[in-house]
Structure formats: structure tokens, C-alpha cells
Structure 1
Amino acid sequence: MYKTIAFNGKFFGAAPTGVHRVAEQLIAATDALIAEQRGNDADYALLIRNSVRVPSYRKILCVRENPRVRRMHRIAWEQLYLPLARREDFILNLCNLGPLYHRDSATLIHDAQVYSAPESYSRSFRLWYKFLFFFIGRRHKLIVTVSEFSKRELVHYGVATADKIVVVHNGCDHVLQIRPDEGQLATLKLARGRYVLALANTQKHKNIAILLRAFAAPELKDVALVLFGGASRADFENGGHVVPPNVRFAGRVTDSELVGLMANAGALAFPSLTEGFGLPPLEAMALGCPVVAAPFGALPEVCGDAALYADPFDPRAWSLKIRTVLDDPAVRQSLIAAGHRQAGIFTWKRAARNLFEAVNAVNARTQADPK
């Protein structure tokens, strides 16, 4: 008999991040997938730490923690309570980390950026993640990652061997189910198709500095750069960056507001020096927004021929590519059509199927050979 597959739901109730959103989409898509299966040999449960509201699932049973441990710190809950409470189960961790002392586990590690881009993280964060990765990669039965690039990086940095890692690409079709809110266009005084969207992120590997330099040039003086996310103008300026006057900060936006911004943007600019996957470019493509990206990390793997690529160290290259996208109708329409095709490859149903098959294969082997 197969072990119950228990999803580690520690992330529910935490501040939303890209990693958490991926986990939510994978759980929902897996639930839909197993509802379609006949003769499925495993049971599924979602373990959560507290009384936060979670979606309703058809086949995945939501298990709330014992009230006596409700105040337990999330790290202690994951490392101590979870493996003891579910010691007979196969635990599936979708947010990079998981309990070290539970060998019958699979863990999704999105990237190796604590190794490849250490300057983007605090010393304590790097040490904690490297410590956990070292043991997770050796003890857990399966490591899942989101791109072939990330797999190579995890092997390169010694997190796990290649034969232990399975690639499950993210999906992006969730954006097609979100009703757009175009209120930010009026708030920020944006002209449809004449602004460029990018992340408001000060981490060095996100490389937003190159966009600030590009938008300070005369070629883009009539184009707004809209940065969405947690970093503010002050954050960039305190980091030593000069923020030109045509940069506008949207702040943290809702999913609906982000879809509204993407659907009406002239382009999404994504100049990262490394990415384990790079979901925003695919989301933009799905919504008909052309993408200009850096040819680094997993971005060529994910974007394929559906994006224009610019040298991430040359601000003039960015200004020229962006002007091309905004001003050349033939290039723009070609990118939009190619983007729709590329985004169509990456669905959450496909991701869930690949994850489902990989985890169940390991679960079956665990039953045959419990060592």
C-alpha cells in the first residue's frame, strides 16, 4: 500500500511570495489531476500550521495542526512537529525547505541563487539555506526543480546528484483566469502600450539598475518605466542608484492590478543576471505583452524565441530593444504571437502531471525498498 502523500503547508498564512504562489498553483492543479484519476493508490493530505483559510480541494484532505503546537515557531513546526506527526507519510515540500529528519520526502528547490548570487541575500539567510540544502539534497528521496538550468546549478554546487533531480517547469495559465483591474493606469497616468513594466527589486541579481540607466537616456525620455513590487524609490536611492524622473513606482499590487498593468504595457523588461525559472515573462506573454529579457539563467530556456534579448550590462542595448518593441509594429506583433505560443506550453496541469508522476514513482520505490 502506498504511503499518504502529505503536502507541507507551512507557507499558508505567510506573506505572499513567488515561491508560495507556485506552491499554491501546484497543489490546486494536483488536486484537479488526481480527481480525474481512477484507481489511484495514494491518499493526499495538506498539513497547515494554523487556522488560516485555505482553498477547498476535492481530493486533498486539509489537516490542521494540534492546537497545543499552534504557537510553535514555523521552523520548529517544520523540523520537529511535522516529521513526527506525519512519520508514516511521504512528505512533499514545495517551498525550497523541508524537515531534515524525514527521509521519505520530496523537496522542490527553485534555484541555487544562495550560491550563485550570494550578495543578494543576508549572511544568516545564506548560511541557513546552505545548511538545509546540504542535508535535504542527501537525505530526501527526490529533489524537484523548475528548469534544466536550475538542475545544472544544483548539481554544480553539490546540492544533489543529477539522477536524484527531476525538472518540473512552472505553469503560467493562472493569469488567464484573473480579471484585470486597470485602475493603476489612471493612478500612475499611463498611456496604453507606451510604458514598460519591471520588478521593483533591489537584489543585485535582478539587475534593475541597468533599466534605471537605460531610462535615463534620451532615447527613452518619453517612455515611463513602471516598477511593481516592494522596493520604493527611497530603497533604490539608498542603494546608490539614480532614479530618473520617468520611473514610476506602483508598489505592491494585487493580482488583478498586475494583470491589468501587464495586459496594457508596451513591454515587460526582465534583465536578471540569473533566474531559476522566471515566471513574470511567461505571464506577460500569456497576456499579449512583449518581453525584453537578459539571455542569462533559465530565461532562454523559458522564453525561447518569443523574447528579444539584450546585454544585461549595456544600458544602450536595453534602450534600443525597448524602442524597437514600442515603435516597430511588425516586431511587436511577431513577439505577441510567439509569446502566446510559448506561454501555451507552460500549464499548471502539465506541471502537476509531471510532479504527480515523479512523486508517485518514488513513493512506489519507497514501499518496495524502505531503506
Structure 2
Amino acid sequence: MHDLLDNGARIPAAEAAPLSHAPDEEVSHLSDTADAEGPVRRFIVNGRFLATEPVGVHRVATEMVRHAHRLIASDPALARRIALELWIPFDAQDRANALGVPYRVVGPLKGNAWEQLTLPLRAGRATVVSLCNVGPVLRRNAVTMLHDVQVLLSPESYSANFRRWYRLQQPMAGDRHRRILTVSEFSRDQIVEANVAPADKITVIHNGCDHVLSDSADDAVLKRLFLEQGGYTLALSSLQAHKNIVVLLRAFARPELKDRTLVLFGSASRDRFVAAGYHVPSNVRFAGRVSDGELRALYENAAMFAFPSTTEGFGLPPLEAMRLGTPAIVAPCGALPEACGDGALYVAHDDPSAWAKAIASVYQGPQHRSDLSARALNRAKRLTWDRAARNLINTLLSL
């Protein structure tokens, strides 16, 4: 299933091919005619994310690593130019096995100590690449992806310790590391405005969303939740303030939607919403944590996906739904207009009445839903992980 690499072993690597692109998407950051001669450039990917409970930024890292490895392994010319090695702490092996790319277990320590001490001390002259908001802050030969500065834009969404750590380490990374990556023009502007890093040090690499096609739909989840095809609106279950789920709870308490069902998937349960002081209407169902196959089934069979977030560094969930042809209604906030483009319907984040009307219009207008579905799919098809991985490789080679 995997190769356990010895010290100094090299993972094969590959050269970026020309990319077709829509006018509103990023282009490759390196010319196809770049010099292919010279020594192999070693880059070590920080695999600590594989030792923790998966969240959205881990999806990005997973797909970036998987697709970059495939590109490199399939192109001998690129393999002569770049080696991209995945290093992990000992407690990350289960998820590393599932990732399906070669990796190396490097000790000692684990957790934050591994990331800040073991990884930079063992990396030698190689460049350390971190894709999940945190990198070894004292190391200069590093590239780190900062997905957003939400800890500054929505501090109430995070614990005090989390806020303190991010407010310390993000500016250090922005100052010391060779390159900062981010996932949208919006995030780049916010990083600059927060004085975390200057604009000319930041490269934007848009996420892909085609990973949602990798798993077969597990329709058993529909029976478990007593759902019918096209009979519900799907949304994320989160108590983070900026996810703004309260506007959906209020919308589904209104007369327009009293006979419609809202399904929330994720870790936040009904009891947790109630304990936090929210009124949860009886037409709201909680799916809990779901597998990728169950999530695909929920996306595909929903009448629409609702995402009223007040700020996002990118916004993967609506694009996952859109890639499966499900209409998305989102708030015009953060990077959502940049990511979703003309493929989504936009409703003000603070207007439950407008959300209720927009959602009801999709239920009541089959042609309206069909048009939204076509727009959604057309937009989402442009955002692929292959493209993101090519731009990652090109950025590293351009250092």
C-alpha cells in the first residue's frame, strides 16, 4: 500500500503541462519552456495533518499531495527536476496508508512538537511545504499555505488558545517563510491587510472540487434519515459563528418553508444547538458525521445546498454540491463570489426572509432549479485538483 522511505530516499516527481483556463481562474505560475536541466529540487511536505481529525483544510492538503504525486510519478522529465516527499509523525500512519502515496515516518515526537522541532531539524537543506495553515515557524526555508485569517475576521468562532497560537505563528510564517500560498484573491487581500505577509510574497492557488466524484454514493443514508430525492435542503452543521447556520434555522421556521426539510450534516447535534440558545424548528434533521459516500448521496439527492457563511477563505462545500449538479444558494461574502462565480444564487447573509423566499423558489420552479443546476455544474467543472497540483509544483519550481 505504501513505501516506507529511508533517510535521503527520493519520491519521483513531474513537469507541468500547458493548462487551458477560464478568464477568471489563475494561470500556471511557470512557463512550459522553463529550463528542465539542473539538480533535483527536494521539497518535504509536512504530513502532520494526517495525524489529526480531518477538517476542510486537510481535504485540500490531501488532494494537493495526491495529485501532485501522480503528476510527478507519471512524468520522468518532471521527476528529474523535483522530488516531493511526504514526511509524517508516527501516529499518522493509518491515514497516510489511505492516502496511497509513498511516505516517510520521521521521529521523534508528535503533534505540535513534531511540526515545530522534529520536522525542521531533520529536513536538512530541503524546503518544507506545509498546506494546513501552520508550518515550522523558526525555519526560513519553508513554504506555507495560509487558507485565511478567519481568526482575525471571526475570532468568536475559535477558542482563546487557538486565537493566541494563530496570531503568533501566522505573522512569523509570513515574515520568515520563502513563500506564502493561499486559496483565493480574497484571502490574499485579507492576509495583506492583516500585515501577515506582503502581496508580492503570496501565490493564489484555487482549490479543486472534483474529489467529490471519487466515492460512490451511499444511498443508505437517505433511508436512515427518511429522505426523498429532491425533498430537502442540505447544509453544514456548525456552531462556528461565521458559518451563520442561525439564518437557516430562522428561514425554516417561516411559513414559506414550514413543510420543507432542512438536513444538517456535521458534528454539531441538535442538543448542542439548543444548549447554545438556538431555536431548532421541528423540520430540521441532523445527519451527524457522514462518510464521503453518504455525503455524495446527500448532495446528489438534495433539492439544493445552502451556505450562508459570513466569511470564507474559499468555500468548498457549495462547490462540492455544484460539481454534482446540485444548485447552491450562498451568501455574497468572503471568497464565495470568487469561488462560486455565476454558478450560485446569492442571498444576503443576514436576511432569513430572503433565504426562505429563495429556497421556496427553487422548490416551486422546476425550470428555475434546472437552470441553476446547469450553471452550478458548468462553474464547478473548471476547478480541478489536477490544476491546483500543477500550480503548486510550478510555484515550488519557480522559487
Query: Which bin holds the TM-score, normalised by the shorter protein?
Result: over 0.9
Tell whether 2:323 aligns with 1:286.
yes
d(CA) in 1 for partners of 2:103 and 2:286? 38
Among candidates 50, 64, 73, match of residue 90 of structure 2: 50
Correspondence for 1:144 among 158, 169, 181: 181
Moved over 4 A (4+): 55-58
2:343 and 2:380 in contact (8 A); partners too: no
Gap runs ≥5 in structure 1:
363-371
Per the alignment, residue 66 of structure 2 pairs with 28
Q: Which among 106, 125, 128 is matched to residue 65 of structure 1?
A: 106
Specify the code of the residue in structure 1 equivalent to 2:57. Answer: V
Contact 2:68 2:386 in 1 (8 A): yes
- Partner of 2:195 in structure 1? 158
Q: Deviations over 1:266-304 (max 9, x none)?
A: 110000000000001111011111101000001111111
TM-score by length of 2: 0.87
Identical amino acids, percent of aligned pairs: 48
1:192 to 229, 250, 262: 229
2:342 aligned to which of 305, 308, 327 = 305
In structure 2, runs of 5+ residues without a counterpart are 1-38
- Contact persistence 2:62–2:99 (CA under 8 A): no
- The one-character-per-residue Cα deviations of 1:111-130 (angstroms, maximum 9, x if unpaired) are 11001111111111111011
TM-score, L = length of structure 1: 0.94
| Number of the residue aligned with 1:356 | 393
Residues 126-159 of structure 1, C-alpha deviation per residue, up to 9 Å, x if partnerless?
Answer: 1101100010000000000001111111111111
Q: Distance in 1 between matches of 2:145 and 2:270?
A: 34
1:288–1:339 CA contact under 8 A, matched in 2: yes
Could you say which residue in structure 1 is the equivalent of 2:17?
none
> Aligned AA for 2:129?
L
Q: Secondary structure at the match of 2:329?
A: strand
Give 1:21's aligned amino acid: R
* Residues 3, 88 of structure 1: 8 Å contact kept: no
Q: Distance in 1 between matches of 2:368 and 2:198?
A: 42
- Partners in 2 of 1:16 and 1:294 — Cα distance? 25
Letter in 2 for 1:85: R
Cα drift, residue 21 of structure 1: 1.3
Partners of 2:90 and 2:110 within 8 A in 1 = no
For the Cα contact (< 8 Å) 1:44–1:61, is it kept in 2?
no
Secondary structure, aligned partner of 1:345: coil
Equivalent residues of 2:89, 2:110 under 8 A apart: no
Q: Which amino acid aligns with 1:154?
A: I
Q: Which amino acid aligns with 2:89?
A: R
For 1:55 and 1:174, the matched residues in 2 are separated by 18
CA contact (8 A) 2:340 2:379 kept: yes
Question: Map of 1:226-265 to 2, 5 A cutoff?
Answer: 226-265=263-302
Shift in Å at residue 44 of structure 1? 2.0
CA distance in 1, matches of 2:46, 2:145: 11
1:303-333 CA-to-partner distances (Å, cap 9, x unmatched) read 1111111111110100110011111112111
Pairwise CA RMSD: 1.3
Amino acid at match of 2:135: G
User: Is contact 2:303-2:363 (8 Å) kept?
Assistant: yes
